[in-house]
Amino acid sequence: MTPDRWAIITGASSGIGKALAFEFASGGFNLLLTARNEVALSEVAAECAAKHGIRTEVIPADLSNRDSLDRLVADILAKAHPYEVLVNNAGFGIHGDFASGDVERNIGLVNVQIIAAMKLTRAVVPSMIARGSGRILNVASVYSFSPVPHQSIYAACKAFLLSFSSSLQDELRGTGVRVIVFCPGVTRTEFRSRAGIAEKIKNSGMTAEAAARIAYTETLRGKHIVVPGFLNRVYVFFAQHLPPGFVPGIVRFINRQRLRHS
């Protein structure tokens, strides 16, 4: 690592992305932050810089839009910073039946979760390999391990991130570059309300700050698959070891109840 080390964080204006910005800033990383909300993004950047004395840059971008994504990639490469960390965190949820849903919104989700992660990773990983150090942190989900009825595209995107991360980690063996896939469960952010998911218990799940602290610590350690929280690890264990249709059946029942109360 160099004194001028930089971390790129997508979806950094709120939730886990915002919390991760503060974690990396506290560790002395300069930050290049991106999200759609320029005002909120600039506030996060200013607070990180003031509190931790690091450099920050803000590039507003809508990762669901391919042109906006391509401009972001071009801007990142043009700056030529020594990017030590890339955090592919941006995302949103869609809750409901695929057959009656908005297919363009689903395509936008694929762009944010998959296409953006691919293009940004491809943009920065060659320089990481050349330096012999780097971290790619892909924020996935416990849903990476199981199909999720009524959140089918979201879960499929997270499953892609898990598979992609594991494949890339093996390809990068011996280069000094590590790929971390972070798989949280329910987290207390705006994510679930924006996805139209009703919650009976408002304070259920881990806070964004607690999740970000674990993700940051394990990223620096280079641990490959990180599932924070005992109940989340139980979910993953059952998803991996029970008959294929068992866990999706339970999730389908839960999500149907949520849809009725949305």
Is the per-residue pLDDT at 190 higher than 80? Answer: no
The pLDDT tens digits for 146-179 are 988 899 999 999 999 999 999 999 999 999 999 9
CATH of the domain at 85: 3.40.50.720
Residue 1 inside a domain? The answer is no
Residue 74 inside a domain? The answer is yes
Q: Whole-angstrom Cα distance, residue 139 to residue 117?
A: 10
Residue 196's pLDDT is what? 46
Catalytic residues, which ones? 154
pTM: 0.88
Is the per-residue pLDDT at 191 higher than 90? Answer: no
For residue 91, give every residue at least 6 positions away whose Cβ sits within 8 Å of its Cβ, in sequence order, or none: 11, 109, 112, 113, 139, 157, 191
Comparing CA positions, the residue from 75, 21, 172 lying closest to residue 6 is: 21
* CB-CB contact of 33 with 56 (8 Å): yes
Q: Whole-angstrom Cα distance, residue 82 to residue 72?
A: 16
Structural domain for 105, as ranges: 6-261
What does DSSP assign to residue 143?
Answer: G
pLDDT band for position 251 (cuts 50, 70, 90): low
* CB-CB contact of 57 with 32 (8 Å): yes
Amino acid, res. 38: E
Residue 256 inside a domain? The answer is yes
CA atoms within 13 A on the CB side of 190: 11
| Domains of the chain: total | 1
Residue 244 inside a domain? The answer is yes
Residue 197's pLDDT is what? 44
Residue 252 inside a domain? The answer is yes
Sign of the Cα torsion 249, 250, 256, 262 reads: negative
CB atoms under 10 Å from CB of 27, counted, come to 16
The pLDDT tens digits for 114-151 are 999 999 999 999 999 999 999 999 999 999 999 888 99
Residue 39's pLDDT is what? 98
